[in-house]
Structure formats: C-alpha cells, structure tokens
Amino acid sequence: MQKWNLKVNGTPKEIGEKLKITFENKKGFAFNSTNDYPLKFKIRKRALVALDGNTLNRIIVKGKILKATKGKNTDMEISFGHHPLWSVVLFGHIFLGLAFIAAMILKFSNDFYFYFIGGILLLIGILVWLHGQKQFDARVSEYKQLIAAHFELRN
C-alpha cells in the first residue's frame, strides 16, 4: 500500500465535487464518496468484461479530504492498495506450490511430478507477484498523474 499526502486549493466540498465530476465522466471508473467529515472517497476501475476483473481492477484508491487549514489549502490523504482478490490469487499459487513440495518432503508421494508441479506453482506465484508489483507501481503513477493534472499540481 502506498500513501500520498498533498495540499490542494479549495474547500473540501469543492474538491470532492471536482473529483466526482472528473472520475464519473471518465469511462471505466467507479467513484464512491461520503458526505461526512472528513470526506472519504474510493476510486477503482470498473471491469467492463467479466474476464477483465483481475487485470484491470487491481488497484483501489481510497482517500480523505480533510478540513482546510489556514487559507484555502485543503489536505488530502490518498492511499493506493491492491484489490483483495489479487491477494487471494497470489497467495493461492504460492500456498499450493509449497503444499506440493511439503507433501514430497513428508513422503506422501515419491513421485517426481509432485516436485515439478509444486515448483511450477511456486514459480508462477513469484512471477505473478513480481509482475503485479510492476503493474501496481505503473498504475499508481497513472492515478497520481490524473489527479495532479486535474488539480494542477506538480508531482
């Protein structure tokens, strides 16, 4: 999970409306917000096709818009996190790979293919994790650029 703190010109209500307008007009984004104090919002990409659920919807952006400090600057706290389904897929592969290897070590089977299947599943889990981290960092920077461009910030 990555966090991003920034100061934005305007009141919390104005900033919330700007974010809502920005992300509701973009195709493929879902934007949810609350009206309590502090204003909280959640942004994620909507899966338009059933099979895209795990590839496009990996990041959930959660944020708080805090009360304006002196002047017209408002503090925003934004956190970027993985979708829970992503963790299930990742740890499922790693757990199954380790289970196959443990079964071989504990002599539940003397078959070489247990090592082979366990190693492959473990390798897939590690490769999926590395690929996911790379995509996560790229998508976080995309979200940051989108938000920074909308509020005319410099990253």
How far is it, in rounded angstroms, from Cα 105 to Cα 132? 30
Position 136 confidence tier, pLDDT thresholds 50, 70, 90: confident
CATH code for position 21:
3.30.310.80
CA distance 31 to 41: 7
Average pLDDT of the segment spanning 80-93: 81
At 92 the pLDDT is 82
109 assigned to some structural domain: no
Q: Is residue 85 very low, low, confident or very high in pLDDT (cuts 50, 70, 90)?
A: confident
Tens digit of each residue's pLDDT (9 = 90 or more) over 41-73 = 888 776 665 555 555 567 888 888 887 667 778
- The answer to whether residue 154 sits within a structural domain is no
**Residues, the chain:** 155
Q: Over the stretch 115-128, which tens digit does the pLDDT of each residue have? A: 787 788 888 888 88
> What pLDDT, on the 0 to 100 scale, is given for residue 69?
65
CB 78 within 8 A of CB 2: no
Q: Domain span at residue 69?
A: 2-85
Residue 141 lies in a domain: no
Q: What's the structural domain count of the chain?
A: 1
* pLDDT at site 84: 79
Look at residue 10 and tell me if it is in a domain: yes
* Cut 0.85: pTM above it: no
In a domain, 9, yes or no: yes
Predicted local confidence at residue 155, as pLDDT: 47
> Can you tell me the mean pLDDT for 130-149?
85
Mean pLDDT, the chain, rounded, equals 78
For the chain, percent of residues with pLDDT exceeding 70? 85
Phi-psi region of 28 (alpha: psi -120 to 50; beta: other; left: phi over 0): left
Tell me whether residue 75 is in a domain.
Answer: yes
Give residue 133's Cα distance to chain centre: 10
> Comparing 34-48, 113-127, 131-145, which segment has the lowest mean pLDDT?
34-48
> pLDDT value at position 133?
85
Rounded Cα distance between 71 and 49, Å, is: 45
Is 13 a domain residue? yes
